[in-house]
Amino acid sequence: MSINDVSNPFIIGKYLSDKYFCDREVETAFLRKQLINGRNVALISPRRIGKSGLIQHFFHQEDIEEKYYVFYIDIYATTSLAEFVYSFGKEIYEQLKPQKTVWKEKFFQVISSFRIGFKLDAMTGSPSFDLGLGDIQAPLTTLDEIFAYIDEADKPCIIAIDEFQQIGEYAEKNVEALLRTKIQRCKKAQFIFAGSKRHMMSNMFNSPSKPFYQSAISMGLAPIPMDTYTDFACQLFRGNRKNIDEEVVKTVWNMFDGYTWFVQMMMNELYASTPTGGHCQSDMIKEAKKNVIMSQEGSYKDYCLTSNQNRKLYYKLLPKRDSPRISHQQNSSRNTISTQPVLFSLPSGCYLRMTL
């Protein structure tokens, strides 16, 4: 999707431009200051609050795009060092592929163990990545080659690794120490270690017994202030010949404690439900929430089916009421299962969080 193809300005799950990105000016400036001065950053906050969006926004700053190669690697789905190495190498190549640089052409030469994974497209003649995990016979060797390749870059790199706490759950027990050594010796890159599991990330970077102890500047991420988001949302409506009451935006923000993904999802639906020249008012919120829930119903039912018995019991015991929102503080004190501070009610009457 390009900027010119946007039919709904409340973007979900991707970054297009600063026009559709709300605030985070202080956070962006903080990242810039740390990284350009040679300090790695540990970005720790719950899921769905905007870590990935902030990183992408930072990467799209004019000075960063001009002076750095930037790489975003999501390792949420990885379960082993081999999978990490595969994701690392694949993402570096995929993000370099559109660029015509001497450094990109060296990729095959330096990372020789990946050579088997590339083939030429029969129609275009362009190389494509075609590597299975089984082809990585020696993950440590391939990892050495990747870091050697990074150190040959013709300008500095910034590498963001999202859901970084996953490395603590790999079957291999020495991954943290291994990566700490590689990263410490890497001369051409600064790193953003982003994670959503606060306990694991804090332990990883703040415990003296851990390899990554004090190796990065810790950074949290709070919800975007309500008034700031309200101004942003109202401006997007007005810029597209629609109107919305400020109170509608504030109600939605409070409904989800300002968690970016949930608020954006609701605003996306409210925008879609408001005709050109129309006016979005409070009586539209209930229907918008129902539509959002119904769009996710299949996923919620699947989650119920695959949840363990304790979680199923937790959902069944939640009291049914007109306003099914339980604050994060209330939830933490009542239950041992604490995830996101947002609940929706499915038509069946059971309450589910938008994400877990």
Query: What is the model's pTM?
Result: 0.82
Shared domain check, 210 and 231: no
Q: How confident is the model over 165-183, as pLDDT tens digits?
A: 999 999 998 999 999 999 9
- pLDDT value for 284: 97
Q: Which helix (H) or strand (E) holds 233?
A: helix 226-238
pLDDT score recorded for residue 120: 63
Please give the mean pLDDT across all residues of the chain.
Answer: 84
If asked whether residues 186 and 283 sit together in one domain, one would say no
Residue range 217-274, pLDDT digits in tens: 999 999 999 999 999 999 999 999 999 999 999 999 999 999 999 999 999 999 999 9
> Has residue 114 been placed in a domain?
yes
Q: How confident is the model at residue 312 (pLDDT cuts 50, 70, 90)?
A: low
* Whether residue 168 sits in one domain with residue 75: yes
Dist CA 188 CA 141 (whole Å): 19
Is 46 contained in some domain? yes
Residue 165 is assigned to a structural domain of this protein: yes
Residues 182 and 267 in one domain: no
Residues 193, 67 share a domain: yes
Residue 117 lies in a domain: yes
Gap between the Cα atoms of 244 and 234, Å rounded: 6
Parent domain of 271: 226-294
**What's the distance, Cα to Cα, between the start and end of the chain in Å?**
28
Instruction: Supply 104's token pair.
Output: 């990109």
pLDDT value of position 343 = 43
Please give the residue that has the higher pLDDT: either 241 or 338.
Answer: 241
162 and 215 belong to one structural domain: yes
Residue 176 sits in the same domain as residue 289: no
- What CATH number should be reported for the domain holding residue 252? 1.10.8
Residues 67-121 have pLDDT tens digits of 999 999 999 999 999 999 989 998 898 888 788 888 888 887 888 777 655 566 6
Provide the pLDDT for residue 352: 42
- Domain co-membership, 231 together with 195: no
Domain end among 263, 294, 325: 294
Same domain, 246 and 178: no
H or E segment and range at residue 269: helix 260-273
Residue where one domain finishes, among candidates 220, 253, 281: 220
Domain boundary among 170, 201, 220: 220
Q: Report the domain count for the chain.
A: 3
- Quick check: is 10 in a domain? no
Checking if the pLDDT of 314 tops 80, the result is no
60 and 117, same structural domain?
Answer: yes
- 309 confidence band (pLDDT: 50, 70, 90): low
Mean pLDDT check: name the lowest of 141-155, 254-268, 301-315, 336-350.
Answer: 336-350
**Confidence at residue 127, expressed as pLDDT on a 0 to 100 scale:** 64
91 shares its domain with 153: yes
Three-class DSSP category at 72: strand
Residue 9 forms part of a structural domain: no
